[in-house]
Chains A and B, each alone.
Chain A
């Protein structure tokens, strides 16, 4: 167990912690906003599928001995998959959920084979699945990319908030009134893909989709307007992340698992509050 004093013993450590915290907060903010739209459109499983594909892509980077460049390998792969999954979900003929399972389990299988072939230590696979325990893995590139991404998402949600609402609520109506819904869906897929890849490092590919699903579901237990859900989702996820991050640092736990556990507690808490409030109203 580390005390605060040890944790912040050197300037070097402080820099690492601050950088990880900033990247984490930015990714959390992005995923909580995107998550509201994804969950309401019944796309939350796509987030899960993408993170599995992300695992495969990172394994590919490791096999190619290009771990330093893994973001530049995994981001394009995951974006292409996201667009593909979106098309799959929209066409009525295919069995969307089964195809999604094929894509995600296939990617995990290929990924672990690649890890084996490249003689990586099993701790690397473990880090990739459950999130990295050390803060050293978060580089400047993560910081730059997550800043750009979160600015893009915040601009999108502030300036196109009304359109995002309309398309999420009723895609056909929006299309009939002349809104370019395909462009929006594409944008949603691309931004989700980038968010997942950036967050995977810290959260692990098995748990990154929790950042997308939990905040949205938690805030929907209590909030009843779209704007309320968005604001609540962003605040809840940021608070949960800060609590989880420092708890993990001080107790020496894994960051990803701790953050998800805090989110779970928040979800249960909000569910109880929501239920009792509904009872009072009735």
Chain B
């Protein structure tokens, strides 16, 4: 049983069909990279995985105890967030909200979870600092910690290294890889094909409604990889 399985999915955005007849599975422990250029339908696919957009046809089945609202989502930063007055703690613990229903206050369990995830990403020392004064890399860690609070098993990362410098980018990739090695399933949307080929276990490449889906090893030998990286077949 897969955590997520997409069957003959067709997605449309504002009336225009973006992706047609897409099928793939995500299993426990996978590290799936979704690559493709702007407008290839990456964000639309992500929105439907999160349940923010209904598929035009086909279906997305969640299994193995994963519910749709238990995917830990790391969105791209918006203009609103960059200067938002919030402490790191306030942001991280807000990840636990989805599970609580109508209960108004955070429980001891929520607090412990937030603390644990902050230690894991080594941001527990900046707990009281204001989110707006952090560096881009630190902000990304805070949002990742929030995503981890929202999930038990799966992270969905939307361009997690956008706007980060090379050193911080490498750190971010390392953190994500470690989380994956510890059993978290990762779906990452990315422009960075080279990094995808290095870290991912599976690759989904979207391009003009054509696509490639397979393991990383298959991908490196496919025409897609050659075309987009400009290299020869190995």
A interface list, Cβ under 8 A from B = 40-42, 93, 158-163, 165-166, 169-170, 172-179, 220, 223-229
Q: A176: which B residues are within 8 A, CB to CB?
A: 50-52, 69, 71, 73, 98
Q: Is the CB of B104 within 8 A of A173?
A: no
Contact of A225 among B71, B81, B87, B105 (CB under 8 A): B87
B84, B99, B150: most-surrounded residue (chain A CB, <10 A): B84
**Distance (whole angstroms) from the CB of A46 to the closest CB of chain B:** 15
In the assembled complex, the Cα of A151 lies from the Cα of B78 at a distance in Å of 33
Name 17 interchain pairs, CB-CB below 8 A, sorted by A: A40-B85, A160-B104, A162-B94, A169-B91, A170-B81, A172-B73, A175-B50, A176-B52, A178-B98, A179-B98, A220-B85, A224-B87, A225-B85, A225-B87, A226-B87, A226-B90, A228-B85
Q: B71: which A residues are within 8 A, CB to CB?
A: 176
Q: B5: which A residues are within 8 A, CB to CB?
A: none
- Please tell me the number of chain B residues within 8 Å of chain A, measured between CB atoms: 31
Q: Is the CB of A40 within 8 A of B84?
A: yes
In the assembled complex, the Cα of A66 lies from the Cα of B104 at a distance in Å of 42
In the assembled complex, the Cα of A162 lies from the Cα of B149 at a distance in Å of 14
With A160-B104, A172-B75, A173-B146 already in contact, the answer to whether A166 and B94 are too (CB < 8 A) is: yes
Q: A229: which B residues are within 8 A, CB to CB?
A: 85
**Distance (whole angstroms) from the CB of A267 to the closest CB of chain B:** 16
In the assembled complex, the Cα of A178 lies from the Cα of B101 at a distance in Å of 9
Q: B8: which A residues are within 8 A, CB to CB?
A: none
In the assembled complex, the Cα of A199 lies from the Cα of B143 at a distance in Å of 38
Q: A179: which B residues are within 8 A, CB to CB?
A: 97-98
Our count of residue pairs bridging A and B at CB distance below 8 angstroms stands at: 83
**Distance (whole angstroms) from the CB of A225 to the closest CB of chain B:** 4
Contact with A along B56-80 (1 / 0, CB 8 A): 0000000000001101010100101
Q: A223: which B residues are within 8 A, CB to CB?
A: 85
Contact with A along B14-53 (1 / 0, CB 8 A): 1000000000000000000000000000000000001110
B interface list, Cβ under 8 A from A = 14, 50-52, 68-69, 71, 73, 75, 78, 80-81, 84-87, 90-91, 94-95, 97-99, 104-106, 130, 132-133, 146, 150
B50, B90, B91, B133: most-surrounded residue (chain A CB, <10 A): B90
In the assembled complex, the Cα of A85 lies from the Cα of B218 at a distance in Å of 50
In the assembled complex, the Cα of A40 lies from the Cα of B132 at a distance in Å of 13
Q: Is the CB of B105 within 8 A of A162?
A: yes
Q: Is the CB of B52 within 8 A of A41?
A: no
Please name 13 further chain A to chain B contacts, defined as beta carbons within 8 Å, in addition to the given A159-B104, A169-B91, A177-B73, sorted by A numbering.
A166-B94, A174-B97, A174-B98, A175-B52, A176-B52, A176-B69, A176-B71, A177-B97, A177-B99, A179-B98, A220-B85, A225-B90, A225-B130
**Distance (whole angstroms) from the CB of B147 to the closest CB of chain A:** 8
